[in-house]
Amino acid sequence: MGDMSQDVVVSSTRTAGRHGVGAVGLGSPSEFLPQHHAQRQQTLELITAAEARGHGRLAEMNRTVLSNLDTIIDTLETPETTEHAL
C-alpha cells in the first residue's frame, strides 16, 4: 500500500505543475480552479491518512504539494492589481 500512496503524491505534483499559473496552451488558468480545489481536498485527505498511519515523510511531501496548491489557488482567486497605474 505504501507504493500506491507514493504514486498518488507523484501524480498530485505533476498535476499541479502541469496546470499551474503561466501554463501555455491550456486556456485561462482560472478554468482549472475547480480542479485545484478538488486536488487540495484530496491532498488534505492524504496528509491525514499518512499521519494516522505514522508515515511522516509521506505527510511531509504532501504538505509541500498542499502549499503549492494554496499558492496557485490564492493567485487565481486574487483580483489582479494594477501595479503600473501610478
Q: How many domains does the chain have?
A: 1
CA proximity to 46, closest of 10, 86, 82: 10
Q: Are 11 and 3 in contact (CB under 8 A)?
A: no
Side chain identity, residue 76: L
**22 occurs within a structural domain:** no
C-alpha cell of residue 24? 501555455
Q: Is residue 11 part of a domain?
A: no
pLDDT tens digits, one per residue of 6-60:
444 444 444 444 444 444 455 677 889 999 999 999 999 999 999 999 999 999 9
Asked, for residue 4, whether it belongs to a domain, the answer is no
pLDDT in tens, 68-85: 999 999 999 987 765 555
Has residue 66 been placed in a domain?
Answer: yes
pLDDT of residue 80: 74
Domain that holds residue 46: 30-78
For residue 55, tell me if it sits in a domain.
yes
User: Residues with Cβ < 8 Å from 61, sequence gap 6 or more?
Assistant: 9
